[in-house]
Amino acid sequence: MSPLNGNRSDGSERSARPDRPGGSATPLCTAYDTALLDLDGVVYAGGAAIAHAVDALLTARDAGMRLAYVTNNALRPPDEVARHITELGVPTEPAEVINSAQAVARLISEQVPPGSRVLVIGGEGLRVALRERGLVPVESADDDPAAVVQGYGGPELPWGRFAEACYAIARGVPWYASNTDLTIPSARGIAPGNGAAVEVVRIATGAEPQVAGKPLPPMHRETVLRTGARRPLVVGDRLDTDIEGAFNGDVDSLLVLTGVTDAARLLAAEPRHRPTYVDADLRGLLTPQPEVTGGPGSGFACGGWHASVRDGVLVLDGDAGLGGGGGEGGAPMDGLRALCAAAWSAAGDGACTADAGKALSRLGL
């Protein structure tokens, strides 16, 4: 049985349902043994800690939850990432960091002879991971590489590095990518990610890389091997990597709204992009998650909010008398959970196209 099988140690099944966010009667930090945390957009953005992240992680760990950082960003090696998280205020060991560089290095090592040269288009994290697998990083297409690997190299990566990749790929050298995230959060906003750089090489060569990062199986396997989690919770900000990766691994997930995904994108999510839980930030690890009740006929309720789809529009009604912690109808996250249930139920196996603008405006989202 896989350590990431999605079942609790007491035999109960995972919480995810395709038509609504899940509920948890106990805080998530006690319902799950390990948080598999994305970094960019979840713990930090542009190097600075996201609001409430440090205190939430320390409290979750004090409650017995193990913390593991699972990131598609291949730029920095685990010891550097661990040092950064420690400096932010959460003491972290390099072994607690799992990145897509490690996943892609393992993938390459299984397909080329030991000691092979690999042309690196990216940062130091790729070089460290390749050496860990007994491979030799090189810098030129003329160094007779057995593979080309491309990972996020930061905003200063020279344009000429893409040309080196193209020269080697044109000679028939197999191409690998750590991940294909098109964007990455930064302190100034959303910036191009490794996926955008991969597209440059793809357009120039017409080739297709083998990809290791979330949401694909090589990253899931790397996480299994390095964490040994039994009741994991994937925590992320991206539907197409973090949440889809959890879906592919059949484990529960928490989406936080501190990074790439906003409320409108969440409402339009198709089944493989629907998280088990949703919360504003990492403080969601510390609390129970409220149940969403109701159904398509009567609408869906959470806290003091009631949501339904009427004539192609998502409608949100609030009743402070139902409870929910103050304000019109209660907490905004409860309103969003009710809206998710209404949108996902109406969409079925597709993406909801109902207009959500007015409903989200009422929540300030």
- pLDDT per position as a tens digit, 72-115: 999 999 999 999 999 999 999 999 999 999 999 999 999 999 99
- Residue 155: asked if its preceding bond is cis (omega within 30°), the reply is no
d(CA 11, CA 110): 35
What percent of the chain is modeled with pLDDT above 90?
Answer: 86
Q: Does the pLDDT at position 70 exceed 70? A: yes
* 317 catalytically annotated: no
Q: Which of the residue ranges 12-16, 48-52, 316-320 has the most confident prediction, judged by mean pLDDT?
A: 48-52
Residue 190: the pLDDT is: 87
d(CA 168, CA 141): 5
Residue 15: the pLDDT is: 55
* 38 catalytically annotated: yes
Counting Cα atoms < 13 Å in the Cβ hemisphere of 214 gives 32
66-71 vs 34-37, strand pairing mode: parallel
| Phi then psi dihedrals of residue 310, to 5 deg | -130, 120
Comparing 76-80, 265-269, 320-324, the range with the smallest average pLDDT is 320-324
Q: Report how far apart the first and last C-alpha atoms of the chain are (Å, whole number).
A: 41
| Residue among 10, 19, 33, 40 flagged as catalytic | 40
A 10 A CB-CB count for 49 gives 18
| Residue among 38, 181, 237, 334 flagged as catalytic | 38
pLDDT tens, position by position, 155-185: 999 999 999 999 999 999 999 999 999 988 7
Residue 12: the pLDDT is: 39
Query: Quick one: average pLDDT of 286-297?
Result: 95
Query: 96 to each of 64, 80, 226, how far by Cα in Å?
Result: 15, 12, 8
Comparing 7-11, 49-53, 250-254, 339-343, the range with the smallest average pLDDT is 7-11
Query: 67 to each of 22, 40, 95, 180, how far by Cα in Å?
Result: 22, 15, 11, 25
Residue 5: the pLDDT is: 38
